[in-house]
Structure 1
């Protein structure tokens, strides 16, 4: 296992994400993940609420760094707010992460199936990981060049006592069918080891790829997904949040799969 630090960062108004990432590079730090937070898909309801959403804070960057790569002092001065998580991640997953992630972000032309039609009518809320009218409207209002780009969902999970087996049943069904057929790919998982998340009672993180936000919405509106969601996921979780992010290059531009594949 390798200890990694996950950071949600709010920058000072006079600091751009590109400038901040440049200071990391100047100090020889290459993030495992560098991404721009786009939208809360599921909000926390009990844990870390004040830190994450209580002040209507604007999160500018999401980073995953190895523990041996602390944020340098000159970059820390650019931070207006930060929420950090320490977690243990498989060394095997990390060693192959860059190559595997590049294949997901830059798939061969024509290799990604379009999102399937939604099988279930939109609900009033997405809080239970269901497609809502508001989510559909938000996706429809996105510029086409953004709407069709890959996204990753940062999941933080707090599991109810005695419900770990139920959550494992959900994850197994997600990987073997309900998630995979909509293009989902679990890129990283980790056990919480320290930081604000450990203090607040979170247990685990999962970082999951989707070919587009429309693929995510189609999954949430599918009958097979909602079956395992209501049978296993919802009863097993004490709290959770899902944050949609889009990975960025070193200039903080959202990755465009139409461009030449390159290592982020």
Structure 2
């Protein structure tokens, strides 16, 4: 497994069977590193491959959207282009996907080609009006 920056130690400290919502914050390269379109184009290729992998593990996309402006904080320190909330039925399901050979060889290259920065925060639910489905 060579997914750069995957915090295995931090994720393994969580209850492996607990549901988790991953908050994804992404900033795209103006041009994909492989030269095939924009960073956004590379990210769309990544999404087309990963969404079926997420669903196969019982997860789902809850919400995605464009980042418009920093409402609270230092704007230049927190510049993101896109956000996604992704539900997984367990931390173990997320880890299994991220460490799979299929993810590493087919998906991650598109993510790296498209994203100048990609931060994922593991969360547990304190309150939600949304139910995965």
Q: TM-score, normalised by structure 1?
A: 0.40
Greater strand share, structure number? 1
Higher relative contact order (CA 8 A, sep 6+): 2
Partner of 1:189: 64
1:165 pairs with one of 31, 41, 51: 41
Which stretches in structure 2 are left out of the alignment for 5+ residues? 31-37
Partner of 1:154: 23
Deviation at 1:236, TM superposition (A): 0.9
Mapped partners of 2:94, 2:108: distance in 1: 17
Aligned residues: 121
Mapped partners of 2:108, 2:130: distance in 1: 38
Partner of 2:116: 238
Mapped partners of 2:51, 2:65: distance in 1: 16
Mapped partners of 1:198, 1:179: distance in 2: 32
Partner of 2:94: 216
Deviation at 1:231, TM superposition (A): 2.2
C-alpha contact 1:169 1:232 (8 A) present in aligned 2? yes
Larger Rg: 1
After superposition, the C-alpha distances for 1:39-64 in whole angstroms (9 at most, x for unaligned) are: xxxxxxxxxxxxxxxxxxxxxxxxxx
Q: TM-score, normalised by structure 2?
A: 0.75
SS in 2 for 1:218: helix
The structure-2 alpha-carbon separation of the partners of 1:156 and 1:263, relative to structure 1 and needing over 3 Å to count, comes to closer
Mapped partners of 1:168, 1:240: distance in 2: 14
SS in 1 for 2:68: strand
Deviation at 1:182, TM superposition (A): 1.8
Mapped partners of 1:216, 1:197: distance in 2: 31
Mapped partners of 2:74, 2:87: distance in 1: 22
C-alpha contact 2:54 2:88 (8 A) present in aligned 1? no
Mapped partners of 1:208, 1:197: distance in 2: 26
C-alpha contact 1:219 1:225 (8 A) present in aligned 2? yes
Partner of 1:174: 50
**Could you say what the CA RMSD is over the residues aligned between the two structures, in angstroms?**
2.8
Spell out the pairing of 1:61-140 with structure 2 (5 A cutoff).
127=5, 129=6, 132=8, 134-135=9-10, 137-139=12-14
SS in 2 for 1:193: coil
Deviation at 1:229, TM superposition (A): 3.2
Which stretches in structure 1 are left out of the alignment for 5+ residues? 1-121, 251-261
